[in-house]
Structure 1
């Protein structure tokens, strides 16, 4: 009897490198203005020049990397004007995601939403801003997934990634974690209750208040620009 063999899926090397660099941008390991060296990527990931270059080009297309003459690729800096413009878009899209989640979030994701909120509570109780930022990311990602709209979810993920450095600094501000947790509770309750209008309203208020904390802090010079 003939045996059939299954060919393992081909690994896209440029995607693998891009995803690794995105995680480093999210974590802050790669900060605004940090150089990304093509040769270093080739050695680190044991790849040829082509996938390393393609990964950098993908990041540039997403607005995460800038090509600077005589310096090559560097992690993009987000100006305050750009941040405010993106914040306006993010507020409306996050509100839509919350509204859609209130309408159709599946049971499994409803449980994930509660679990992510509990993770936020635990981090807040420990006054751990790093852990809270990760739990916050989980909370919002669950709402993106719960919208059951992949186009919307993908757009929100890209925007969050682009705004990641400023967003990370929010939770070091006085009372921001406590306020964020209370806002999360309102959002979660509205979604679980199926109250679309309240979910949209609470989410928009949450995103606006968090963004304004950062904008005010930059205006006072108490945090660096992204």
Structure 2
């Protein structure tokens, strides 16, 4: 098989598995059998193995002794650490987008905001989640920094499971939409500092909702390795409160 064909096949397999993982069809700990992939996609061992290696490099799949490839879990302590990084990277993307976003993408951002507002009006958490992802993706691209955009997408993939539950929490869609408006207006008017503060506040708010959720779960969440102890939940809450404190200090509030 020519190398180009093999690469195309491995990309096809990777994309299919990635979609199944991010949608929850394949849950954390699920074993991915190489032979089953070969049979399912009617390919040889090489593209199936290359697809798994790509997923391992992105952190979505890990290799477990005597089990092989399995869908990776994300511990609560890892989620907390990633949340701190995510807030800063999202804020940077918003700041750069306020400075650099081309006119075409500004229009796309307004369209994504409209889709969010329509989903919010219908109280549709699933549709809002998709529109919300589009809103953030446009900001990543609008930063005109491919390395930053790639890092953000990779982190969002790793943090996929907790994110899906955020918009089921009471009032979260309404609050998220209001936060989007602040981000949107700052980007459209080229206000870099406000865009940064609004976006870090938006991500912090989402992390706060997640902390509240895990604090109420006595046995943790299915995708996490350790139990969601009160200490871990408190750490998650502290992350968002520290971020809020930094924003108040920077504004003199």
TM range (shorter): over 0.9
TM-score norm. by structure 2 comes to: 0.83
Partner of 1:206: 202
Which residue of 1 is the match for residue 92 of structure 2?
96
| 2:53 alignment partner, one of 38, 54, 57 | 57
What is the Cα deviation at residue 20 of structure 1? 1.6
Unaligned 5+ runs, structure 1: 1-8
TM-score, normalised on structure 1? 0.92
**TM-align CA RMSD:** 1.4
Following TM superposition, the consecutive aligned residue runs of length 4 or more in structure 1 with deviations greater than 3 angstroms are: none
Shift of 1:104: 0.8
- Residue 130 of structure 1 and its aligned partner are, at CA, apart by 0.8
Cα deviation, 1:123-180, whole Å, max 9, x if unaligned, reads 1111111111110110000000000000100111111011011111111111111111
The answer to whether residue 44 in structure 2 is matched with residue 48 in structure 1 is yes
Deviations 1:100-122 (A, max 9, x none): 00001001100100010111111
Using CA pairs below 8 Å that are at least 6 residues apart, which structure has the higher relative contact order? 1
Question: Quick check: 1:127 aligned with 2:106?
Answer: no
- Residue 112 (str. 1) matches residue 108 (str. 2): yes
Distance 2:123 2:68 in 1: 39
- Segments of structure 2 that go 5 or more residues without pairing to the other structure are 224-253
Shift of the alpha carbon at 1:215? 2.1
- 1:83 aligns to 2:62 (yes or no): no
